[in-house]
Amino acid sequence: MRFVFTKLFYFLAALGFVPLSLSWQRPWLAWVAFAYDFVLLCVAIADAYTSRLPAGFRVSREFGGRFAMGAETEVRIEIQNASPRSIPLFVKDEYPPQMILAGEREGYVRVEPHSKATLIYGLRPPRRGRFEFGHTALRFRSRLGLVWCDARGAEPDAVKVYPNMRRAREAELKALGARSVVSSHRKTSWRGEGREFESMRDYVRGDELRHISWTATARRGKLTTRQYQIERDQTILVALDAGRLMTARIEQETKLDSAVHATLALFSAAARAGDNAGLVVFGRRIKSYLPPSRGRDHIDAALESLYAVEPEMIEPSYPHAFQFIAANSKRRSLVVLLTDLVDEEGSKELLTSLQLLRPRHLPLVVTIADRDLKSVVQAEPESVRDLFTQSVAEEIMHHRETALRMVESVGGLALDVTAAALAPALLETYLRVKERGLL
């Protein structure tokens, strides 16, 4: 058992120097001083080993909510004293060192009889994953007040840090505006060239002739157009690359982190539009699969699938991923591939593998650039290093543009964006696909 002497002990020990200072006149007083201090030390040690926190004393750790990447979450240390005596103590919580501390995780409290006290601090996790809390350390005064005794309170805890759903919903609202809110209340709020009939209306200049209902026109005596609404209950399947190129860091997070939050924004938008969304995470093999569905429980299932996903330093297997999708998704789907491409060999493998999805599915290949390469190329070089950087950027742009044009040539859709523009661009493309009735 660990303990520390209190000020009271040192004060009492100092009293032993009084007879010691007189021992030059009476030598036997030195033995009295040594005996006094020895007895005091023995009493202090016995006090430390016999002092315990009362049976009605409890310490627990509670969290203000689910931990999310980049968001501050409150941690509460609840100290309950059901005993008839007051207990002064120091409290120190052992939090995961990877998290960023906000506030004080230690302090002095006096817990009165039959009452409780609370220590509150905040933590902000910088990344997703699983994190470990240790014990809550306690230091309380012994019964005689001679020592501070150490004890343990709350037990170790394991917590999950999820992707930031608030960030995903903010991206959705920013990209889709009022449509992302209204669509959850009115079934017909999104209109386009979908194939689900909604109503008839008078012909307006500019309407397509193929939408004119000649039967209704003959009956009413004036041109009448069919009005369609964007179809619901369609299927969106996100294929998330967790390979080597997704390990690249942009500011404080990896490309995979950006892709994860864009995926959740798409899940949220699809749920509001009445569509089903599914998820496949892959590297050399399939890491996780979430069948298409919708609803709040499905969003929670997506968070569970994504919280611990980490990119690996290996090349992804597009054939393996697309074979899995083709085998497990028989219904026509918009297959959104979130990946990155820099070399010609990887592009060829992707293009060859896309044949596994066509023509049943509509693939949308989204590549995530490190930064805006166009701005790098357009800037006037000021040094040989800048010139070399521009040359590399032009070569990368050429490979990416060639690969994406090839995707379009085989009937797919292609999108090349920076990490910052990923979520808005992805949601706008999803909405255009629905408005044009491509599914």
Can you name the residues that pair with 120 across neighbouring β-strands?
76
CA distance linking residue 293 with residue 275, whole number of Å: 8
> 325 and 195, same structural domain?
no
> 218 and 252, same structural domain?
no
> 178 and 297, same structural domain?
yes
Residue 11: which domain range?
3-50
> 246 and 213, same structural domain?
no
pTM for the full predicted model: 0.77
> 89 and 119, same structural domain?
yes
> 237 and 204, same structural domain?
no
> 313 and 349, same structural domain?
yes
pLDDT of residue 256: 95
CA distance linking residue 278 with residue 239, whole number of Å: 9
pLDDT tens across 244-291, in order? 989 988 878 899 999 999 999 999 999 988 899 999 999 999 999 999
Of 52-61, 143-152, 250-259, 372-381, give the lowest mean pLDDT range.
372-381
CA distance linking residue 338 with residue 336, whole number of Å: 6
> 413 and 267, same structural domain?
yes
What's the domain count of the chain?
A: 4
pLDDT classification of 209: cutoffs 50, 70, 90 = confident
> 237 and 383, same structural domain?
yes
> 174 and 152, same structural domain?
no
pLDDT tens across 284-341, in order? 999 999 999 988 899 999 999 999 999 999 999 999 999 999 999 989 999 999 998 8
pLDDT of residue 210: 73
CATH code, 98 = 2.60.40.10
pLDDT tens across 122-167, in order? 999 999 999 999 999 999 888 888 888 888 888 899 999 999 999 9
- The DSSP-derived string for 68-113 is ETT--EEEEEEEEE-SSS-EEEEEEE---TTSEEES-SEEEEEE-T
Does pLDDT of 10 surpass 90? no
pLDDT of residue 373: 65
CATH code, 179 = 3.40.50.410
> 238 and 257, same structural domain?
yes
Tokens of 181: 């809110």
> 398 and 344, same structural domain?
yes
CA distance linking residue 134 with residue 405, whole number of Å: 53
